[in-house]
Amino acid sequence: MAFISSGYDPKEPMKNRITDIGPRKYDEFYPPVIAKNKGTWLYHQYLKPGVYYHVAESGDKVFTVRVGGARLMSTLLIQEICEIADKHCGGYVRWTTRNNIEFMVDSEKKVEPLIKDLESRKFKGGSFKFPVGGTGAGITNIVHTQGWAHCHTPATDASGPVKATMDVLFEDFKSMRLPAHLRVSLACCLNMCGAVHCSDIAILGYHRKPPMLDHEYLDKMCEIPLAIAACPTAAIKPAKVEVGGQKINSVAVNNDRCMFCGNCYTMCPAMPLADKEGDGIVIMAGGKVSNRRSAPKFSKVVVAFLPNEAPRWPQTTAVIKKMVDVYANDARKYERLGEWAERIGWERFFEKCELPFTHHLIDDFRDPAYYTWRQTTQFKF
């Protein structure tokens, strides 16, 4: 392997340097039908799950075929996408805000060939490369984060549980039978790099053991005051410890005050939390983002902990599948999962979804916890 220079000269970093040019301008990439009709769209309609079209004032139509996919994606697959886009879509393609891919064509007759092409492509292992679906009152792609594939703080993997879950929910990706759309999200730690805090169903990686203290290296690897300041519960105090007969500066953690947020580890690599038995998954439900009918809502914790059962997380996917099916059967048309739970009451939600209610689910974090308790005699037996 020989180093190939781009032209950059490390000795003169400023030479010919181009900075602050921002992204490419959006309209360089618009397909012609979009460029022409932007801002004049009249309405849209679904042809089938994954396929919809928009009609513009000009009479023009754009047909969109949406396909799901793992967002952890190789250049190989991107090149295959390009090949398809060249073949069917005049060389244009887009991604959605939930990591689906949208192929657009400007006439209805181009739709079926496109779909046929997409659905025919499979990975060696047998899975679809480009399953069509994810629209309307169904389940679309799971937005997720890095997990064990790239991040240093996860309490679970991302791509693994997502694949396992989408396999289980695949029928709802391919159909629009639900009362409203249902968004599943995953974040591998509670930094929550995504919107799992307001998803219909959220899969959250969570630690349950306080940080280990790598005393020998702590003062070398970390700024002790920053680590202390990072703790939201003030569980960390400075401490002198003896290592190999020498008194050195380190920290002590009051384990009973620790809520396993990992913020100390973010600031200090000598305080790792990860643990095979301690780490696992929290299931949350009932959040939403849109302002449709009801205001946006946070997701609520409905299962306090499930173990990391790689590679397929069967307990996690079973709980999710159960919730989706109960919701599908019980909710009213247009009702989001959280709206449904609130209407029937959370006590019914747990009963219907056959989930145990444990003390962990009662909020005890700071003053606002009070507002989640039941301050009325209104409840259902």
Q: Provide the binding-site residues for a copy of itself, judged by CB under 8 A.
A: 291, 295-296, 366-368, 370-371, 375-378
Does residue 151 belong to the site contacting ligand SRM (CB under 6 A)?
Answer: yes
Two tokens at 269? 């690599």
Stretch that binds ligand SF4, among 35-43, 112-120, 191-199, 241-249 (CB under 6 A): 191-199
Distances (CA, A) of 327 to 92, 244, 333, 373: 37, 59, 11, 24
Rounded Cα distance between 55 and 19, Å, is: 40
Task: Report if residue 280 touches ligand SF4, rule: CB under 6 A.
Answer: no
Query: Which does residue 236 touch among a copy of itself, ligand SF4, another protein, none (CB within 5 to 8 A, set by kind)?
Result: ligand SF4
Strand (E) or helix (H) holding 184: strand 184-187
> With binding defined as CB under 6 A, does residue 161 bind ligand SRM?
no
Find the binder of ligand SRM among 44, 177, 343, 374 (CB under 6 A). Answer: 44
DSSP conformation letters of 268-327: -TTS----TTT-EEEEEE--B---SSSPPB--EEEEEEEE--TTT-HHHHHHHHHHHHHH
Shortest reach from residue 304's CB to another protein, in Å: 6
- Our finding on whether 186 is near ligand SF4 (CB under 6 A) is no
Coil, strand or helix at 51: strand
Contact 272, 262 (CB under 8 A): no
Sheet containing 201-206: which strands, arranged edge to edge? 184-187, 201-206, 280-285, 300-307
Q: Is 259 left (phi over 0), alpha (psi -120 to 50) or beta?
A: alpha
Query: Which string of x and - marks every residue 222-261 that binds ligand SF4 (by CB under 6 A)?
Result: --------xx-x-xx----------------x----xxxx
Considering only residues 47 to 86 of the shown chain, the ones binding ligand SRM according to CB under 6 A are none
Contact assessment for residue 315 and residue 309, using Cβ atoms and an 8 Å cutoff: yes
User: Which has the closest alpha carbon to 186: 70, 290, 358, 273?
Assistant: 70
H or E stretch covering 130: none
Report which residue type is found at 233: T
The alpha carbon of residue 190 and the mean position of all alpha carbons in its chain are separated, in whole angstroms, by 12
Q: Is 140 in the site for another protein (CB under 8 A)?
A: no
189 and 144 in contact (C-beta within 8 Å)? no
Instruction: Decide whether 322 or 348 has the Cβ nearer to another protein.
Output: 348
Instruction: Provide the minimum distance between the beta carbon of 341 and another protein in the complex, in angstroms, as a whole number.
Output: 8
Query: Which residue number, 124 or 366, has a Cβ lying nearer to a copy of itself?
Result: 366
The residue type at 90: G
Write the binding mask 131 to 170 for ligand SF4: x where contact by CB under 6 A, - elsewhere.
Answer: --------------xx----x-xx----------------
User: Looking at beta carbons only, is 150 or 240 nearer to another protein?
Assistant: 150
Before 210, cis peptide (omega within 30)?
no
Bridge partners (DSSP) of residue 247 are 242
Q: Residue 258 binds which entry of ligand SF4, a copy of itself, ligand SRM, none, with Cβ cut-offs from 5 to 8 Å by kind?
A: ligand SF4
CB of 107 to another protein, least distance (A): 16
Residue 354 DSSP label: T
Distance CA 87, CA 120 (A): 15
**Between 262 and 301, how does the x/- string for binding to ligand SRM read (CB under 6 A)?**
----x---------------------xxx-x---------
For the bound state, the minimum distance from the C-beta of residue 109 to another protein, rounded and expressed in Å, comes to 20
Decide if residue 187 touches ligand SF4 (CB under 6 A).
yes
287 near ligand SF4 (CB under 6 A): no
| Residue 308 sits in the site that holds another protein (CB under 8 A) | yes
DSSP state of 25: P
Residues that bind ligand SRM (CB under 6 A): 44, 96-98, 100, 134-136, 140-141, 143, 145-146, 150-151, 153, 180-181, 183, 191-195, 266, 288-290, 292, 336
Question: What is the contact surface with ligand SF4 in residues (CB under 6 A)?
Answer: 145-146, 151, 153-154, 187-189, 191-193, 210-211, 230-231, 233, 235-236, 253, 258-264
